Amino acid sequence: MKGIAGLIIAAALAIAGGICNWLYIAKQADRYERESFVVVGIDQIRAGEKFKRQDFTKVDIPKNNLGNLEQIAVRWQDLEAVIGLPAVKDFVRDQLILQDDLKTPPQEKLNRKIADNERIIVLPVDPRSFNPQHVSPGDLVSFRIPPAHSGRVPSTAVGVDGSEPAAEIIGPFRILALGNRKGSIDTAKVIGRRPTSENDISVSVEIRGTDVEPKAQRIMNIVATTNFKGVQVLLHPAVESK
The series of mean pLDDT values per 10 residues for the chain, 242 residues long, is 49 45 51 82 88 91 80 86 84 89 71 90 86 86 84 49 75 90 64 65 93 94 88 82 43
pLDDT of residue 164: 64
Residues 6 or more apart in contact with residue 190 via CB below 8 angstroms: 47, 48, 86, 87, 88, 89, 104, 105
- Structural domains in the chain, sorted by start: 33-103 (3.90.1210.10), 110-241 (no CATH)
pLDDT of residue 240: 46
pLDDT of residue 31: 57
Residue 211 has what DSSP assignment?
E
pTM as predicted: 0.53
Question: Residue 39's beta-bridge partner residues?
Answer: 57, 96
Cis peptide before 172 (omega within 30 of 0): yes
The amino acid present at 69, given as its one-letter code, is L
In this structure, the dihedral spanned by the alpha carbons of residues 93, 97, 102 and 105, taken in order and rounded to 10 degrees, is -70
